[in-house]
Structure 1
Amino acid sequence: MPNRMILGLALVALFDAPQGFAMSDTRVAQICDAAAQRAAQSEGVPLDIMRAITRVETGHALDGTLYPWPWTINVEGKGFWFPSESEAKSYLFNIFKAGKRSFDVGCFQINYRWHGKAFRSIDAMFDPDENATYAARFLKELHAELGSWSAAAGAYHSRTPELANAYIGRFQTILARLDTQTPTEFAARDPFTAVANPLIPLQTPADHGVMGSLVPVTGAATAFIQFN
Structure 2
Amino acid sequence: MPDTALRRHCHGLHIWIKQILLCGLLALPQPCFASEARADPHHICDRAADQASRSSGVPLEVLLAITRTETGRRRNGQTQPWPWTVNMEGHGLWFQSRAEALAYATRHQAGGATRFDIGCFQINYHWHGAAFASLDAMFDPDTNARYAAAFLTRLQGELGSWDAAAGAYHSRRPEHATNYLARYHQQLAALDTPATIDTAPVADPRPADRPNRFPLLQSGAAASAHHGSLVPRLTGGARALFRHM
Would you say 1:138 and 2:151 are equivalent positions? yes
Aligned to 2:231: 212
- Cα deviation for residue 78 of structure 1 reads 1.0
- Cα deviation for residue 180 of structure 1 reads 3.3
Would you say 1:50 and 2:69 are equivalent positions? no
> Which runs of 5 or more structure 1 residues have no equivalent in the other structure?
1-24, 183-201
Would you say 1:102 and 2:102 are equivalent positions? no
The two structures have a TM-score, normalised by structure 2, of 0.67
- Cα deviation for residue 120 of structure 1 reads 1.0
C-alpha RMSD over aligned residues: 2.5
Cα pair 2:94 2:242 within 8 Å, conserved: no
State how 1:31-110 maps to structure 2 within 5 Å.
31-110=44-123
Measure, in 1, the Cα distance between the counterparts of 2:53 and 2:240. Answer: 33
Between the two structures, name the one with larger relative contact order (CA 8 Å, sep ≥ 6): 1
Aligned to 2:168: 155
> Which runs of 5 or more structure 2 residues have no equivalent in the other structure?
1-37, 196-223
- Cα deviation for residue 224 of structure 1 reads 3.7
Q: Percent identity?
A: 52
Aligned to 2:211: none
State how 1:183-222 maps to structure 2 within 5 Å.
204=226, 208=227, 210-212=229-231, 217-218=237-238
- Cα deviation for residue 181 of structure 1 reads 3.5
Amino acid across the alignment from 2:67: T
Measure, in 1, the Cα distance between the counterparts of 2:135 and 2:153. Answer: 23
Cα pair 2:84 2:98 within 8 Å, conserved: yes
Would you say 1:225 and 2:243 are equivalent positions? yes
Aligned to 2:25: none
1:74 aligned counterpart, secondary structure: strand
Alignment partner of 1:179 out of 187, 192, 198: 192
The two structures have a TM-score, normalised by structure 1, of 0.72
Seen in structure 2, the aligned counterparts of structure 1 residues 224 and 169 have a Cα distance that, compared at 3 Å, is same
Amino acid across the alignment from 1:137: A
- Equivalent pairs, count: 179
Measure, in 1, the Cα distance between the counterparts of 2:86 and 2:240. Answer: 17
- Cα deviation for residue 98 of structure 1 reads 0.8
- Cα deviation for residue 107 of structure 1 reads 0.1
Seen in structure 2, the aligned counterparts of structure 1 residues 104 and 179 have a Cα distance that, compared at 3 Å, is same
- Cα deviation for residue 152 of structure 1 reads 0.2
